[in-house]
């Protein structure tokens, strides 16, 4: 596919058809991406005799895993939308610099994270809610997983540039290939070679390595519009600065998930037990499942929104947002209904321990009580990113996670009698306030941005 042909599709094809063509592979990729960690936990939870404790041990590793992926999002979710806008303006040279600089940033980040987490993993895990019963399993997993940090950065950080060009099926294949390898290797290493949680970690980094190689081969091949070339590797402040600023919102959204996981685990360990922390591990997996398909919708919409915003086509930007909002809200409502109607259904995939399953089903109804409206939050916030409004998107990310949710985890137990229940209720209370605020801000700012676009003013830089 040539550049001009691709540009013509993003700028002229039917928006509904185009969004489906781009979103369905992106959603498939995001759902499959969940399997990297979720499948690990499903197998680990069913290890004879030690499954519940091993699952809890791997669960306390999640803050570190989330932080590693958050740094990939810092680069990719700021750089890829910016590259789309640049291509919409016809500035392919600057878009190439955006890709090249992102490649170098991901390498630097990977090296720093690998050294840091290999040095400080154990004290961090103890602070994150590990106990004497679970720290051994947590360390077994992290010692191997951190070796694959570079593969995570490439597989997640560079794959966004494939989606940004409109090659949604290639982007989907990146994730699907890795997930299939992970699913196949997990039982072989965990049960066949009797490696336990070490086997789960090894299967994960091998699958991520294959995904990383797939991405690099495509971005250096003949089909790509934006190509990795050495002449674009020299870091430039005019490229790095705007990309990191625009990526700060999704970074905070994911990085604070790490901090929130720590807060939840420590509070639940204080008011509950290892069972409560294990339940939180399962709920985190379910929340990942609920979020990633929504991110798939937004990844499908991002190239359309970004390109047409850069090209000054306000009508197509509006059309894309309305469809995105409809799809995101429909999905979040369906997932909410399933969790409320059959709360044991999804948790039963992770454990056959009756005590853990019953507690998790009870907690799920509290934790996801208002998750049905979260589609509004993600559609508005990600559209802010796609049109280059980094400041508002950053504020909304900080507002929900840091200003609202983290304090509520500690405030509600001080108010309500049933302490562990109060911890889980922090999530829906924060959701209600955050979604209301986001909807009001978006209605005002998006309307003004479209008026400026129609008036022929140059889109604002990130």
Residue 248: what pLDDT? Answer: 85
Q: Which of 54, 48, 75 is nearest to 134 (CA)?
A: 54
Model confidence at 29, in pLDDT bands (50, 70, 90)? low
DSSP 303-323: HHHHHHHHTT-HHHHHHHHHH
The Cα 342–Cα 345 span in angstroms is 6
Please report which confidence band the pLDDT of residue 6 belongs to, taking 50, 70 and 90 as the band edges: very low
Which of 356, 338, 450 lies closest to 44, judged by CA?
A: 356
Helix or strand run (H / E) with residue 33: helix 15-45
Could you tell me the end-to-end alpha-carbon distance of the chain, in angstroms, rounded to an integer? 29
Whole-angstrom distance, CA of residue 371 vs CA of residue 384: 21
Give me the mean pLDDT over the 305-319 stretch.
Answer: 87
Residue 35 pLDDT: 64
pLDDT higher than 60, residue 5? no
Which residues fall within 8 angstroms of residue 279, CB to CB, at 6 or more apart? 268, 347, 356, 359, 360, 363
At residue 30, the pLDDT reads 65
Instruction: Report the alpha-carbon distance of residue 61 to residue 117 in Å, rounded.
Output: 11
Predicted local distance difference test score (pLDDT) of residue 457: 59
Rounded CA gap, 255 and 176, in Å? 24
Q: For 90-110, how does the pLDDT look when each residue is reduced to its tens digit (9 = 90+)?
A: 888 999 999 999 999 999 999
Contact 169, 307 (CB under 8 A): no
Burial class of residue 6 in the structure, from the number of CB atoms within 10 Å of its CB (0-12 exposed, 13-18 middle, 19+ buried): middle
Three-class SS state of 187: helix
**pLDDT tens sequence across 324-376:** 999 999 999 999 999 999 999 988 877 778 888 899 999 999 999 998 998 99
What angle (nearest 5°) sits at the alpha carbon of residue 297, between those of residues 295 and 299? 65
């Amino acid at each position: 596919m040539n550049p001009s042909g691709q540009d013509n599709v993003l700028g002229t094809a039917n928006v509904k058809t185009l969004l489906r063509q781009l979103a369905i592979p992106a959603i498939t990729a995001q759902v499959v991406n969940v399997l990297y960690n979720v499948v690990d936990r499903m197998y680990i939870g069913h290890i004879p005799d030690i499954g519940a404790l091993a699952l809890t041990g791997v669960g306390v590793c999640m803050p570190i895993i989330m932080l590693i992926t958050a740094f990939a999002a810092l680069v990719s979710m700021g750089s890829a939308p910016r590259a789309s806008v640049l291509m919409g303006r016809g500035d392919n040279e600057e878009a190439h610099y955006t890709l090249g600089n992102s490649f170098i940033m991901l390498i630097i980040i990977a090296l720093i994270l690998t050294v840091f987490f290999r040095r400080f993993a154990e004290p961090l895990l103890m602070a994150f809610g590990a106990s004497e019963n679970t720290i051994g399993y947590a360390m077994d997993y992290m010692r191997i997983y951190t070796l694959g940090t570079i593969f995570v950065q490439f597989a997640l950080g560079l794959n966004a540039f494939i989606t940004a060009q409109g090659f949604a099926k290639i982007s989907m294949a990146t994730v699907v290939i890795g997930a299939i390898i992970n699913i196949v290797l997990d039982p072989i290493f965990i049960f066949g070679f009797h490696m336990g949680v070490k086997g789960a970690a090894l299967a994960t980094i091998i699958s991520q390595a294959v995904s990383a190689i797939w991405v690099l081969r495509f971005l250096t091949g003949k089909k790509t519009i934006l190509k990795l070339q050495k002449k674009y590797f020299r870091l430039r402040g005019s490229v790095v600065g705007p990309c990191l600023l625009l990526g700060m919102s999704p970074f905070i959204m994911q990085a604070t998930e790490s901090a929130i996981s720590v807060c939840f685990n420590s509070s639940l360990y204080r008011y509950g037990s290892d069972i409560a922390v294990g339940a939180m591990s399962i709920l985190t997996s379910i929340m990942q499942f609920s979020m990633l398909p929504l991110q798939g919708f937004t990844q499908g919409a991002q190239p359309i929104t970004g390109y047409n915003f850069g090209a000054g086509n306000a009508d197509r930007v509006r059309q894309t947002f309305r469809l995105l909002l409809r799809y995101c809200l429909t999905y979040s409502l369906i997932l909410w209904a399933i969790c409320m109607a059959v709360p044991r259904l999804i948790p039963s995939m992770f454990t056959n321990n009756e005590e853990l399953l019953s507690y998790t089903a009870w907690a799920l109804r509290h934790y996801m009580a208002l998750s049905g409206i979260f589609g509004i939050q993600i559609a508005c916030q990600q559209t802010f990113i796609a049109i280059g409004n980094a400041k508002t998107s950053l504020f909304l990310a900080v507002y929900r996670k840091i200003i609202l949710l983290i304090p509520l985890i500690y405030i509600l137990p001080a108010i309500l009698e049933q302490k562990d229940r109060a911890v889980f209720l922090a999530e829906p209370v924060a959701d209600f306030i955050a979604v209301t605020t986001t909807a009001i801000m978006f209605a005002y700012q998006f309307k003004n941005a479209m008026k400026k676009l129609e008036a022929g003013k140059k889109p604002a830089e990130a």
